Amino acid sequence: MPIHIKESKGPDTSCESHEKQVFHEPFRNGGFVNGEVVACGSRTVPGKFRAMRQSSCLSCTRETKRQIQYALNHATMKGNPIPTLIGLCLCWLCGSLQMLAREPSRNLQDLVQLESKVAAVSRKVGPATVALLSEQTGSSGSGVVASEDGLILTAAHVVQGADSLLVVFPDGKQVQGKVLGANYSKDIAMVKITGSGKWPCATMGASKSLAAGDWVLALGHSTGFDAGRPPPVRFGRVVSKGPGNFLTTDCTLIGGDSGGPLFDLNGNIIAIHSSIGQSLTNNNHAGIDGFRDDWDRILAGETWGALSMNPFANPEMPVLGIGMAMMRGVKGVIVESVVPGSPAAAAGVRTGDLIRSLDGSEVEDGGALLQMLAKRQAGDAVKLGVLRDKESLEVKVTLKRRNELFEQR
């Protein structure tokens, strides 16, 4: 029996797909969270634009600001959501592009080109961003259609406990979807629309090549499907990569966005929203290349792995297989123990060794070593700079997944 979808009456205060509580900022008429655009509708309040910190716009002259304000008001009067969103983004971009982007803007023309790019991508991929509702569990999330025959990519925790989902397109069209397989360790899953048709879809990109500072667009049905607005568009940057197939961005996400798509500026799917950070602007995404690695198994309906809110405890996390110890005044990581059969054991790492570098980068302490490992993949060969009995050595270690190591023991 179809689920009756009601128009949103206001903000929720919990995320049904996550164990932890998250703050849901209301944005029915457009607005900002932590200075970032989170929604745009035909009723966006122009005053919110004026409330932005325009004084931080390093490359905006007064005339430029006047033109931006005029464009925003003009777009608002027409009720066109995409230009409204871009107009809202533009002033914020002026202050951040110069310092934080991999390719900083040099003039107004660069900003206009970026504006056009974001607007084009938003129009292109919006129709493929769907809401997923479970009658069995009562939870909701998002997903993205990745093929014309209706294959949907989403997060594993969105499909957990369900074998079928109601798929709702931005225009309100409702169809049934069958849950296929999932890798819970990577928080990735697939759903297949059961009806025939040529569905709006987005193309798959790549996530392994991403680097900190890359511009990205996040879409999703924040707080659940709302017939009064399209999927809100969030604009941000890649902050870091790892562990495993995960990456972090500063795109503002809230409950309901889980499973939604992250796009590059060419409109390619590069990740799926996974865990939502408590700060709203520090969020993890499951990289699209993780889907490629497990594509055939998930498509065939296999389900495996375990969800973990601690990324360093994730079964996919690459490990050396050592116990770590630190000593006051000593820079590096002391090997307290070596797990039998581990990569470290196979490479000849010994108890008492002092790890001082990894691939030439200095290791300050255990936390730094974990961060470095999180940016690698299982199967990667790394070079450890080791001090043993006052002798400096270089040891080559091939990393393994955590679950691969401990399932063998």
3-state secondary structure of 95: helix
Number of neighbouring beta carbons within 10 Å of residue 15: 22
Per residue in 58-75, pLDDT (tens digit) is: 233 333 334 334 333 443
- 351 belongs to a structural domain: yes
- What average pLDDT score do residues 145-165 get? 94
Percent of the chain with pLDDT over 90: 41
3-state secondary structure of 5: coil
Nearest-angstrom CA–CA distance, 395 and 398? 10
CA separation (Å) from 321 to 236, 310, 343, 349, 406? Answer: 36, 18, 6, 10, 9
Model pLDDT, residue 23 = 28
- 337 belongs to a structural domain: yes
Residue 224 structure tokens? 């659940």
Model pLDDT, residue 139 = 83
Model pLDDT, residue 87 = 39
CA separation (Å) from 20 to 75, 182, 255? Answer: 38, 22, 11
- 11 belongs to a structural domain: no
Taking a C-beta distance cutoff of 8 angstroms, is the pair 182, 196 a contact?
Answer: no
Model pLDDT, residue 317 = 78
Cis peptide before 261 (omega within 30 of 0): no
Among candidate residues 104, 120, 136, the one where a domain is terminated: 120
Residue 4 in this model has a pLDDT that exceeds 70: no
Nearest-angstrom CA–CA distance, 221 and 8? 11
Overall number of domains in the chain: 2
Domain span at 53 = 31-120
Average pLDDT, rounded, for the chain: 75
Residue 151 in this model has a pLDDT that exceeds 70: yes
Cα–chain center distance at 234: 11
> What residue type is assigned to position 220 of the chain?
G
Model pLDDT, residue 154 = 96
- 72 belongs to a structural domain: yes
The whole-model pTM stands at 0.61
- 108 belongs to a structural domain: yes
- 224 belongs to a structural domain: no
Among candidate residues 120, 144, 164, the one where a domain is terminated: 120
Instruction: Give the dihedral of Cα atoms 331, 336, 340, 346; nearest 10 deg.
Output: 30
Residue 35 in this model has a pLDDT that exceeds 90: no
Residue that wins the pLDDT comparison between 131 and 374:
131
Please name which of 36, 235, 52, 273 lies closest in space to residue 141, comparing C-alpha atoms. Answer: 273
- 300 belongs to a structural domain: no
Number of neighbouring beta carbons within 10 Å of residue 62: 8
Model pLDDT, residue 320 = 93
Strands 174-183 and 303-304: parallel
- What average pLDDT score do residues 164-192 get? 94
- What average pLDDT score do residues 34-62 get? 30
Number of neighbouring beta carbons within 10 Å of residue 396: 11
Per residue in 226-280, pLDDT (tens digit) is: 888 889 999 888 988 766 778 889 888 888 899 999 999 999 999 999 875 555 5
User: For the domain that residue 371 is a member of, what is the CATH number?
Assistant: 2.30.42.10
Residue that wins the pLDDT comparison between 84 and 281:
281
3-state secondary structure of 240: strand
φ and ψ at 323, to 5 degrees? -95, 135
Per residue in 104-117, pLDDT (tens digit) is: 667 888 888 888 88
Among candidate residues 76, 94, 120, the one where a domain is terminated: 120
Per residue in 185-228, pLDDT (tens digit) is: 889 999 999 988 899 999 999 998 888 889 999 999 988 888 88
- 240 belongs to a structural domain: no
